[in-house]
Structure 1
Amino acid sequence: MSDDFKNFRCKSGFSSPPCYAADVAPNYFDPLATDPEQARDVARWRRAERTRLRAERQAMQVADRQAAGAALINHLWVVLEERFGGARGQVFSAYWPIKGEPDLRPLMTELHKAGVTVALPLVETKAAPLTFRRWTPETKMVRGDWNIPVPPPDAPKLSPNIALAPLVGWSAEGYRLGYGGGYFDRTLAALKPRPFVIGIGFNAAHIATIFPQPHDIPLDLIVTEAGVRSERTKE
């Protein structure tokens, strides 16, 4: 983050500007969320970061995006083989790429061939946890929320053992900046047992902090085209 951009944010009129908080400590923001004004400042900052990061992602050359996606797939294969025995016999939740996200559909196909049960998340009820339904290369997709292709209502509903989380931005502490709807955090809070969650994004989407709030849940692992970039320490 440039000093000019940081100074611009500090002059933005926020009563508790996030840029100053980062100078104090990355976890400065009230963990009990007792300061509504502060939470609003964070929300404004996140909206601006989403806009910036998505614009940068969309500006990537097609060839660069494809190369990054291929590298990501290779790194994910290694993670799945070394940590989960290739995920064979497990339910693996992927995602359908939108808005310049890394395209991992070739991985979905290869995992299916290898005996992994692949699922995709979808919104079935607004402001509720996501539902996961089975996907195969033969699945006749339908249009879901935000016009994203999803498995049809008669596809089996599943509970994932391993889940991918697309990232707009990410921090080294394992926190995810998503699209702002809150669906993924809501889903992780509801799933019992919780799946092993791997954040997927481009290396350039790294940010110093998302200024974590009480509803933010750190991911277990973050993988970019550069490899594993963050791993949550188990307590």
Structure 2
Amino acid sequence: MSETVVEEAAARKQTLRDELTARRKAMTPDLIDTRGLKVQSRFLATEYYQNARTVALYAPIRGEVPTRDILIAALQDEKTVCYPLSHVHGRILSFRAIKSEAELEPGRLGVREPTNSSDLIAVDQIDLFVVPGLGFTNDGKRLGRGGGYYDATLRAASARSRRVGLAFNDQLVEMLPTTGDDVDMDLVVTELSSHRGLFRTWDFLDT
């Protein structure tokens, strides 16, 4: 891909980020909570969640879909639940497991993350990544905040791992400019529907 094409894609992405950020800011906390409950309920019904043994969640910020119900359900279902750390070596996120919500504390960037006493979980041991984003397409394309950390992490994960993006319906767009660094979702779940992306099998067998 030529440098000009990459630059044009980056410019289009930034324009979309501005638009989608404005949409999220327009949502009230009550609306986020109400719609967030529906997104989480729909996610918990997926085969991806039900068959995963180790689930990577995120702590929501700036209007992202809440994940607390997923955390509570996953702990009750005796799954290993881990969250990313703010201290990043290179582009790949590190994850620590938690056994209760109380183990999440505000980190270096103000985002809640596991305490240092929690167990580290290797990226290649994670079955299912639950991924936030500013925007998604029906076929699994994702637009993040621009850091590229999730894309790098998902590329470094095991080939048997799967990815589900959580979003509000307002975050769905028809098209997203992409480059070779972007990683697609297997499924995108909103409060109204679920959209097949890669939609690979959910057996998490080594491939």
Q: TM-score range by the shorter chain?
A: 0.7 to 0.9
Rounded Cα–Cα distance in structure 2 between residues aligned with 1:166 and 1:85:
16
Q: CA deviation at 1:234?
A: 4.5
1:168-210 superposed Cα distances (whole Å, 9 cap, x missing partner): 0001221100010000110011112442110011111111221
Q: CA deviation at 1:145?
A: 4.5
Q: CA deviation at 1:233?
A: 4.8
- Match for 1:163 among 129, 133, 156? 129
Rounded Cα–Cα distance in structure 2 between residues aligned with 1:56 and 1:84:
28
Change over 3 Å in CA distance of 1:224–1:63 after alignment to 2: same
Which residue matches 1:99?
62
Q: AA paired with 2:99?
A: T
Which residue matches 2:18?
51
Pairing 1:136–2:99 present? yes
Pairing 1:215–2:178 present? no
Q: AA paired with 2:27?
A: M
Mind listing any 5+ residue stretches in structure 1 that lack a counterpart? 1-32
Q: CA deviation at 1:62?
A: 2.3
Change over 3 Å in CA distance of 1:233–1:78 after alignment to 2: closer
Q: Compare relative contact order (CA 8 Å, sep 6+) and give the higher one, 1 or 2.
A: 2
Change over 3 Å in CA distance of 1:56–1:192 after alignment to 2: same
Pairing 1:201–2:201 present? no
Change over 3 Å in CA distance of 1:48–1:146 after alignment to 2: farther
Q: CA deviation at 1:144?
A: 2.9
Question: Is the CA contact (8 Å cut-off) linking 2:84 and 2:94 kept in structure 1?
Answer: yes
- Size of the aligned set, in residue pairs, is 198
Pairing 1:66–2:30 present? no
Pairing 1:227–2:190 present? no
Identity of paired residues, percent? 24
- Mapping of residues 108-123 of structure 1, within 5 Å: 108-123=71-86
SS of alignment partner, residue 14 of structure 2: helix
Specify the structure having the higher radius of gyration (Cα): 1
Question: Is the CA contact (8 Å cut-off) linking 2:168 and 2:191 kept in structure 1?
Answer: yes
SS of alignment partner, residue 147 of structure 1: coil
Question: Is the CA contact (8 Å cut-off) linking 1:188 and 1:194 kept in structure 2?
Answer: no
Question: Is the CA contact (8 Å cut-off) linking 2:43 and 2:49 kept in structure 1?
Answer: no
With normalisation by structure 1, the TM-score equals 0.77
Question: Is the CA contact (8 Å cut-off) linking 2:141 and 2:176 kept in structure 1?
Answer: yes
SS of alignment partner, residue 146 of structure 1: coil
Rounded Cα–Cα distance in structure 1 between residues aligned with 2:62 and 2:191:
18
Shifted more, 123-132 versus 50-59: the winner is 123-132
Which residue matches 1:6?
none
Q: AA paired with 2:144?
A: G
Q: AA paired with 1:177?
A: L
Question: Is the CA contact (8 Å cut-off) linking 2:86 and 2:109 kept in structure 1?
Answer: no
Rounded Cα–Cα distance in structure 2 between residues aligned with 1:132 and 1:195:
15
Mind listing any 5+ residue stretches in structure 2 that lack a counterpart? 202-207
